Amino acid sequence: MKLNIHYQKGKVLQALRYHFISMREIKIMIILVNVFALFAAVMFSMKLISPLPFLMSSVLWISMMVAFWIWLPALIYKRSKTFQDQFNVAIEEQHFFIETSGNSKSWSWREFDRYYETPGFFHLYFDAKSFFLIPKDAFTTEEELEKARAIFRNNIRKS
């Protein structure tokens, strides 16, 4: 099946947020910062600590959320020429092809490490940090979307 890929900024930013939040290190860091913030809030409400640790935990939490929710996705979107381009993709049983103006590249499915699906995209990972986004709105029919799911499920490990 052949798809014409062009990205919409808002949808790509949301997909990049999913990418960051899905990373194990970031999940652990978010949990630790939230536990620290809650602990500081409880200790502050019981008047066991001064306002400074509570303020520090709040600033840390807000900074982290701004970084992962706004700053990092915007930075990656801005730096990546892929998201500004338009190109064709072919999804076949044995290979994945990309065709841009004058250039083409193909990968066999075993070259992909894993994939996962979000509401707007399929994320195909080469390794922990290199991935390719396929927007679901590039599929013209629900049958094409289901066929792509089946190909990904049969050829790539799901995360």
Residue 56: per-residue pLDDT:
82
Going by their DSSP bridges, the two strands 95-99 and 104-108 should be labelled as antiparallel
Q: Could you report the average pLDDT of every consecutive run of 10 residues in the chain (159 residues)?
A: 92 92 88 85 88 82 88 93 88 91 88 92 90 93 94 87
| Beta carbons of 96 and 124 less than 8 angstroms apart | yes
Residue 58: per-residue pLDDT:
83
* Judgement on whether residues 69 and 104 belong to the same structural domain of the protein: no
Residue-wise pLDDT tens digits, 21-41: 888 898 898 888 888 888 888
Residue 91: per-residue pLDDT:
94
- 120: domain CATH number? 2.30.29.30
Q: Which amino acid type is present at position 3?
A: L
CB atoms within 10 A of CB 66: 11
* Judgement on whether residues 69 and 54 belong to the same structural domain of the protein: yes
Average pLDDT across the chain, whole number = 89
Give the C-alpha separation, 155 to 146, whole Å. Answer: 14
* Judgement on whether residues 38 and 104 belong to the same structural domain of the protein: no
* Judgement on whether residues 72 and 85 belong to the same structural domain of the protein: no
* Judgement on whether residues 19 and 74 belong to the same structural domain of the protein: yes
* Judgement on whether residues 17 and 72 belong to the same structural domain of the protein: yes
Residue 11: per-residue pLDDT:
94
From 78, 96, 131, the end of a domain falls on 78
Structural domain range at position 125:
2-6+81-155
From 78, 102, 132, the end of a domain falls on 78
CA proximity to 16, closest of 91, 94, 83: 83
CA proximity to 68, closest of 131, 14, 118: 14
* Judgement on whether residues 43 and 18 belong to the same structural domain of the protein: yes
